[in-house]
Amino acid sequence: MPDKKEKPAPKIEPKDDLMEKIVSLCKRRGFVYPGSEIYGGLANTWDLGPVGVELKNNIQQAWWKFFVQSRRDMVGIDAAIIMNPKVWESSGHVANFSDAQVDCKDCKKRVRADHLIEDNVEIKVEGLSLEDLGKLIAENNLRCPGCGGKNWTEVRRFNLLFRTNIGPTTANNEPVYLRGEIAQGMFVDFKNVLMSARKKVPFGIAAAGKAFRNEITPGNFIFRTLEFDLMEFEYFIRPEMWEAKFNYWMDEMHKWLDVVGIRKDKTRIREHTKDELSFYSKRTADIEYNTPFGWKELYGLAYRTDYDLKNHQEKSGEDLTYFDAETNEKYIPHVLEPTFGLSRTVLMTLLSAYDEEEVTDSKGEKEVRVVLRFKPKIAPYKAAILPLMKKPELTAKADEVYDSLRNDFVMDYDVTGSIGKRYRRQDEIGTPFCITIDYDTLEDQAVTVRDRDTMKQDRIKIAELKDYLAGKINI
Ligand code: GAP
């Protein structure tokens, strides 16, 4: 029996409910909130909070630097979200960009037929016809996840493009689409980029921004949503280069995992089977992540051949060929497409960074410290300025330190609660350094810098603080 005075040590929880912990931390600390929450929410929509938007922007900037700005063979664009609807007809999305779905006649719940089958039966359904999917649902007596019934409609295809209208809606008003992928902007602007940026094959065009898909999803937080952030590029090559370049880009994508801080030991490469290939692809390989809800696609690398440029040339009547001045050849370049879900990168970065460890507090009691071990460059805040107490002489000095650093680093400033609680809060949002201003600071013009990962504290002169942080963060 434990001594009556001795408090039992807090239980270290296993990480198997990691997803619940992440969702709760994200809301509590301001990474991600449910969309439109005060109106009861809207399924599969989420909002980024103050630290979530910093995290997303840092990832996007690092990606742009790694794949665009630090390379001579890449340029970027930012194309319109709403494009001429002919773009989506020519690209094949109006005809082919769809999911097989089935409705419960009793409770009206709509589910993806492949998810319904694969979640309940040990079988892969890629490439099966609508009829075969319907047969599998009936033969296996699959029940509706909403009401438990078995009263299904036939399996039908639903297009994933979001439709909208320009101007007032009338019967003869042609719909336009919100882009389902950002790639089409890069194909449509191919000629303009070629002329204005004077690039030679092989070269790439990159873009990052929102994409929209009218899909139904089984939840899983921000993994699959109606609108999401995407970063991708089209790398234009001579056809015979494709295999070598495919391998090259797969290697670069793996280097990126290290840059952003996604655990490679949690990833694997999965080749698409012939039946599963997108309508535009001759070969696709995904980088999958072992999430708490199974192995899931994180990124993809597709060999789109000359499918897109050829179709756009045919349907628009514009010449989209490339003239190679060295060989005197004119041809339509082939394309490799590395694609990176940015919203998914946010999720996988959170999953990779999450850690719990047992620590002893100032009173000698054991507690669990939750820490997000982000790469410093990706972390929402690089440092937090913490006056030891809310006393004017300390906060005035803290303001001075904050002002001396704010042009170089994005920082938090926190004056509420005990210093221990403030450290824990910063650990939970992954701030690499906490800078404490105490009474000694007023005498020695130095501050205490606490390292998030080691919890070690250094005493640093305020005059040297900027260089100290820059060196550690590697800016
Ligand atoms: N241009 C190619 C393309 O769009 P995709 O595999 O359909 O390929 C690209 O999508 C990436 O976008 C995926 O690898 C995934 O990371 C992300 N993604 C796709 N659908 C998503 C959704 N509904 N919500 C969040 N991310 C999504």
User: CB within 8 A of 298, min separation 6: which ones?
Assistant: 262, 267, 286, 287, 288, 289, 341, 344, 345, 348
Which tens digit of pLDDT belongs to each residue from 14-47? 456 999 999 999 999 999 999 999 999 998 999 9
Burial 45-57 (b: 16+ CB within 10 A, else e): ebebbebbbbbbe
The answer to whether the predicted template modeling score (pTM) of the entire model surpasses 0.85 is yes
Q: What is the distance in A from the centroid of ligand 1 to the CA of 227?
A: 10
The separation between the first and the last C-alpha atoms of the chain, rounded to the nearest angstrom, is 54
Helix and strand numbers, DSSP H then E, in the chain: 15, 23
Which tens digit of pLDDT belongs to each residue from 340-392? 999 999 999 999 999 999 998 778 889 999 999 999 999 999 999 999 999 99
pLDDT band at 2 (very low <50, low <70, confident <90, very high): very low
**SS percent in the chain: helix, strand, coil, step 5:** 35, 25, 35
Which tens digit of pLDDT belongs to each residue from 242-258? 999 999 999 999 999 99
Task: Tell me which residue has its CA closest to atom 25 in ligand 1.
Answer: 224
78 close to 209: Cβ distance less than 8 angstroms: yes
Q: Where are the domains of the chain?
A: 28-86+162-350, 98-159, 381-473
| Separation of alpha carbons 367 and 441, rounded Å | 30
433 lines ligand 1 (CB under 6 A): no
226 close to 335: Cβ distance less than 8 angstroms: no
| Separation of alpha carbons 172 and 168, rounded Å | 11
pLDDT band at 10 (very low <50, low <70, confident <90, very high): very low
Ligand 1, residue 299: give the atom nearest the CA: 14
Task: Tell me which residue has its CA closest to atom 24 in ligand 1.
Answer: 224
What residue type is assigned to position 454 of the chain?
A: T
Q: Domain 381-473 carries which CATH code? A: 3.40.50.800
Which tens digit of pLDDT belongs to each residue from 148-199? 999 999 999 999 999 999 987 666 778 999 999 999 999 999 999 999 999 9
| Separation of alpha carbons 211 and 341, rounded Å | 10
- In the CATH hierarchy, which top-level class contains the domain 98-159? alpha beta
Ligand 1, residue 224: give the atom nearest the CA: 24
225 lines ligand 1 (CB under 6 A): yes
Task: Tell me which residue has its CA closest to atom 15 in ligand 1.
Answer: 341
Q: Domain 28-86+162-350 carries which CATH code? A: 3.30.930.10
